[in-house]
Amino acid sequence: MLEEFIHPPRVAYFSMEIALRNEIPTYAGGLGVLAGDMVRSAADLMLPMVAISLVSRAGYFRQRIDEQGRQQEIPDYWQPELWAKPLDAKVAVTIEGRSVWISAWLYLVEGLSGGKQPVLLLDTDLNENTPEDRELTHYLYGGDACYRLKQEIVLGIGGVRILQALGFSIFHYHMNEGHSAFLGVELLRRYAHPLNELRPGEPHYDIPRVREMCSFTTHTPVEAGHDRFDYDLINRVFDHNFDISTIRHLAGNDALNMTRLALNLSEYVNGVAKSHADISNKMFPGYQVHAITNGVHPLTWAAESFRELYNSKIPGWHHEPELLIRAECCISDEDIKIAHLKAKKKLIEQVYDLTGVRLELDIPIIAFARRMTAYKRPDMLFSDIQRLKEIAKKTPFQIVMSGKAHPSDEGGKSLIADLHSYAKQLQGIIPTAYLPDYNLTIAHGMVSGSDIWLNTPLKPFEASGTSGMKAALNGVPSLSVLDGWWIEGCLEGITGWAIGTMASGNGSDAIDLYKKLEQVVLPLYYNEDTSGWTKIMKYAISKNASYFNSHRMMRRYLIEAYTQ
């Protein structure tokens, strides 16, 4: 298969989830979308990269919402054979003392200039395996700790082995989050000094050599986002040919912490925004955490109307998104309004098709969409319904929301139910829609068709956030708490608006949100002179989309992490 590529892949990018296209549900949220955008940029830039993930045959889940606003989770089976090509290679890993066989599907991401990026989707659903093992690559983030551990063995160890079986010669491995950190363990085994050549006291494993080959990106300061496994479980499940005391030394004595393991086996460690790198440096003293701030893939996230606009006014923008810096001068107010109205019309149709709620073209749409979980505070907008109604009386607006909660996040699920009950309370006063089953297509419609992109995380838990970057690419300004990427992206009243200040506590954010909406954002939208609003739309593009894109991110990873 290697002959298919102009440049044989030399960098391997490992991710538990990856968003390749809407029909392939192998992603849960931001982490997977970012992985997809990395690979799409690598394809456009024709970089020698191969991505490794799980085939997740039953996907994350399809979200249905019942009359009471309760989320129901339905397995989201997809057919790999419709989109990907089965590969011949088969490798085995040891789990609970038996061999679990792994094969791979090849999915090709095609870039703009003919670049083809291979993505290997690992699959254990093979005749050789027990019924239980066949399901190891079915449910993304499903099951208990034992199931997760086995998946991570398949991803990390199986992934490295299948790359070798397919003839790839990889010089650098990148772990997108700690889930794949066992790849480092497999490399330790591969590059171990032969026991019979060791002098007394010399180490068996060549840790510095492995470290030099690996980079690690950490994605969250939320403690639950870092996998930990009990050593009882490890002893029962993990390959006994590997010396567990070395793992204990690298991954923590009390429990096997995948983040620790990744940190200790990576030369280059990255956070996903500057503030997240600072926080990670405090969380992990003794390590140097760099900051290559996240970005989004330009062509993927621009609405068709904006693609056309950029193609005609800023040719070359999708290969060098830096050129979008010219948007301020090269795009007229009229053109940007027309492009936006086209995208807004599409969103209005999408909302009607999915929910039956009718929205108006000349009333601003406030959008909120992301994982539904407590720290994102999706209910902040509704914390004072009376106040919200008063604002809407003077300056009407409409609300569109979407997002899934992890099946075991009861708090997140009850937030979804709350949002549905607020929407009912606002019926006839503020048109409010909740789009079920947040996915790439819904995200695309929302980030391009809304007027204001709202984000209200509890500081400092938003590591980066990327949907506001997608909005900026479509000239949609953010109204957001200063956390994650927005600390870097916010120029007050220019690229959007902050809720609160860097210094203010989380408690006053709701009051500040209402104040900003009532006194600044909505009055500007309704101003007779519309040039104030279009200027902000253009600044969102010229100052933020030109920078917060995955081409810049990918180029920086290549230079600063992979080829150090």
Ligand X SMILES: *Cc1c(COP(=O)(O)O)cnc(C)c1O
Report the nearest approach of ligand X to the CB of residue 498 (Å): 16
Is the Cβ of residue 11 or residue 38 nearer to ligand X in the bound state?
Answer: 38
Cβ proximity of 95 and 105 under 8 Å:
no
Structure tokens belonging to residue 191: 């590059």
Cβ-contact 272, 219 below 8 angstroms: yes
Tokens standing for residue 209: 């050599």
> How far is residue 547 CA from its own chain's centroid?
17
Minimum CB separation of residue 466 from ligand X in Å reads 4
Q: Which is nearer to ligand X, 465 or 477 (CB)?
A: 465
Cβ-based nearer residue to ligand X, 4 or 23: 23
Which residue lies nearer to ligand X by CB, 157 or 303? Answer: 303
**Is the Cβ of residue 438 or residue 562 nearer to ligand X in the bound state?**
438
> Shortest CA distance to 546 belongs to which of 447, 444, 475?
475
- 304 half-sphere exposure, CB direction, 13 A CA radius: 8
* Closest approach of ligand X to the CB of residue 251, in Å: 28
Residue 272 CB, shortest distance to ligand X, in Å, is: 9
Contacts of 1 (CB under 8 A, 6+ apart): 87, 106, 118, 166
Task: For the CB of residue 557, give the shortest distance to ligand X in the complex, in Å.
Answer: 18
Q: Which is nearer to ligand X, 198 or 224 (CB)?
A: 224
Q: Pairing mode, if any, of strands 11-15 and 49-54?
A: parallel
- Total residues found in the chain within this entry: 564
Q: How far is residue 209's CA from residue 196's CA, in Å, rounded to a whole number?
A: 20
Closest separation in Å from C-beta 36 to ligand X: 9
Around Cβ 510, how many Cβ atoms within 10 Å? 20
Give dist(CA 204, CA 210) in Å, integer. 13
Tokens of 401: 């929301």
Between residues 279 and 331, which has the closer beta carbon with respect to ligand X? 279
**Residues 443 and 420: beta-carbon distance below 8 Å:** no
Residue number with CB closer to ligand X (118 or 465): 465
Q: How far is the CB of 83 from ligand X (least distance, A)?
A: 18
Taking the complex as a whole, how short is the minimal distance between the CB of residue 206 and ligand X, in angstroms? Answer: 37
Distance in angstroms (rounded) separating the CA atoms of residues 373 and 71: 13
* Distance in angstroms (rounded) separating the CA atoms of residues 284 and 227: 15
Shortest distance (Å) from residue 440 CB to ligand X: 5
Residues whose CB falls within 8 Å of the CB of residue 218, separated by 6 or more in sequence, listed in order: 177, 178, 259, 262, 263, 269, 270, 271, 272, 276, 280, 289
Cα–Cα distance, 468 to 448 (Å, whole number): 10
* Closer residue to ligand X (CB): 27 or 216: 27
Which ranges constitute the DSSP H helices of 166-206?
182-190
Amino acid at 341: L
d(CA 324, CA 327): 5
Closest CB to ligand X among residues 153, 296? 296
Peptide bond preceding 460 in cis form (omega within 30 of 0): yes
Minimum gap (Å) between residue 373 Cβ and ligand X: 10
Measured from the CB of residue 344, what is the shortest distance to ligand X in angstroms? Answer: 18
Tokens of 447: 């980030």
Whether the CB-CB separation of 378 and 401 falls below 8 Å is answered with yes
CB of 296 to ligand X, least distance (A): 7
Contact residues for ligand X (CB under 6 A)? 29-30, 33, 370-371, 438-440, 443, 465-467, 470
Nearer to ligand X, 185 or 440 (CB): 440
Q: How far is the CB of 104 from ligand X (least distance, A)?
A: 25
Q: Are 485 and 469 in contact (CB under 8 A)?
A: yes
Question: Residue 168 in contact with residue 2, Cβ under 8 Å?
Answer: yes
Give 330 or 545: the residue with its C-beta nearer to ligand X.
Answer: 545
Which C-beta is closer to ligand X: that of 370 or that of 459? 370
Distance of CA 109 to the CA centre of its chain: 17
d(CA 339, CA 361): 13
